[in-house]
Amino acid sequence: MKQIITQKPGSLVYKNVPDPITKKGEALIEVKSIGICNSESAPYNGETLDLVALPAVMGHEFGGIIKEINGKSGKFRAGDKVSVYPQLNCRTCYYCTNKMEHLCDNQQMFGSSIKAGGMSELIAVPLKNLVKMSDSFNVEYTGIVEPTAVAQHTIGKYKNINSIIIGVGAIGTIMGILLKHNNCRFIAMDIDNRALEASDRLGADLSVNLKDKDKNIKVRNFLKGRLIDLVVVTYISKDNLDFAIETVRKNGTIIIIGMPREPIIELNSYKLFFKELNIKWSICYSYREFKEAAQLVEKNIIPAEKLVTKIFPFDKAKDAFEYKVNNFALKVIIKN
């Protein structure tokens, strides 16, 4: 089979390797859909190399069709369409045994520098990491399930609130759709008008460019005396965090998602203290949340077709990465 190896920034190599040999309790998956995450396009573009070591077989947003199963198959059968929960958790550490498996002390992840990911024609996956999709589901869209799981973990529990998302790329846009589904008001904010236009099309109540000098006035005028309960910051910078602290109500919540470009960012500690704010980070998701995300995509509550900007064939992966790096795109998919 072929694997796509990100050898170094700007360089993808196709390598012929032996087909995977499954262990008991694993399925051999024909990979049909691989989403390109910003955490993958960044190292391809020469960024965040201290966080993502190259070379690597990337791809943690993926799914496909079961080719064969080693051992008892349970509810799965060859030919089933599946999404792949990409975290390999130990199930024995403190976090795994206390319903926080996404923080597993011994976690590995498909698509990391230590575990080859979905940018392969075939991959062996534990059955416990699979979520079955319906026969009628378009398997090309299984790459949308993982970013939906990130959004579900971050804001899935919030209902009937006023919210702002700062940074409406793929995950920010999905969060906005989920917030609207949960009867929340949602203000989209970004520096890219194309991202704001996409959020408008997908249901944002208001879209405001972060560079707009009147952004505070526009938000206040829209709220008409209502208060912001939640601000999610998907692009982490001092300016964005300062705006979030200034805008959210007293005892409101700020959720920070994603990897900061700077290890230390100064915050207004006086405002944090006197407003008694709740600041939290969000990373990954549980298997339960991943399964919920698969259902949201399958039911078209998260409209995958509207989120996928472009689909490239497996042998055009470099074109896919170049498109992702050089163009506005919510989600770029590589299909096989």
Summarised one tens digit per residue, pLDDT across range 147-192 is 999 999 999 999 999 999 999 999 999 999 999 999 999 999 999 9
Residue 294 token pair: 């698969």
pTM above 0.85, yes or no: yes
pLDDT higher at 268 or 284: 284
The domain defined by 150-282 carries CATH number 3.40.50.720: yes
Are residues 54 and 39 in contact, defined by beta-carbon separation less than 8 angstroms?
Answer: no
Residues facing 206 on adjacent strands = 187
For the cut 70, the answer to whether the pLDDT of residue 85 exceeds it is yes
Sign (positive or negative) of CA dihedral 72, 75, 77, 82: negative
pLDDT higher at 47 or 36: 36
For the cut 80, the answer to whether the pLDDT of residue 92 exceeds it is yes
Q: At 267, is the pLDDT very low, low, confident or very high (cuts 50, 70, 90)?
A: confident
What does the domain layout of the chain look like in residue ranges?
A: 2-132+303-335, 150-282
Residue in this structure with the two tokens 């509810």, named with its chain if needed: 75
What pLDDT, on a 0 to 100 scale, did the predictor assign at position 53? 85
Q: At 258, is the pLDDT very low, low, confident or very high (cuts 50, 70, 90)?
A: confident
Residue in this structure with the two tokens 């890219």, named with its chain if needed: 192
Q: How many CA atoms lie within 13 A of 222 on its CB side?
A: 20
Give the C-alpha separation, 118 to 89, whole Å: 17
The domain defined by 2-132+303-335 carries CATH number 3.30.70.360: no
Q: What is the mean pLDDT of the chain?
A: 94
Are residues 301 and 180 in contact, defined by beta-carbon separation less than 8 angstroms?
Answer: no
Among 87, 76, 73, residue whose Cα is nearest residue 131: 76
What is the identity of the amino acid at 272?
L
In the chain, the N- to C-terminal Cα span, in Å, equals: 12
Mean of pLDDT values over 302-325: 96
Taking each helix axis from N to C end, the angle separating 287-298 and 145-155, rounded to the nearest 10 degrees, works out to 120
What pLDDT, on a 0 to 100 scale, did the predictor assign at position 295? 98
Mean of pLDDT values over 274-282: 94
Q: What percent of the chain has pLDDT over 70?
A: 99
For the cut 70, the answer to whether the pLDDT of residue 241 exceeds it is yes
Q: For the segment 63-79, what is each residue's pLDDT rounded down to a tens digit?
A: 999 999 999 988 999 99
Among 246, 253, 236, residue whose Cα is nearest residue 268: 246
CA of 143: how far to CAs of 140, 297, 312, in Å? 7, 10, 13
Mean of pLDDT values over 203-230: 95
Angle CA 186–190–191, to nearest 5: 160
Residue 63 token pair: 């799914």
Sign (positive or negative) of CA dihedral 35, 39, 40, 41: positive
Q: At 264, is the pLDDT very low, low, confident or very high (cuts 50, 70, 90)?
A: low
For the cut 80, the answer to whether the pLDDT of residue 260 exceeds it is no
For the cut 90, the answer to whether the pLDDT of residue 268 exceeds it is no
Number of C-beta neighbours around residue 223 at 10 A = 15
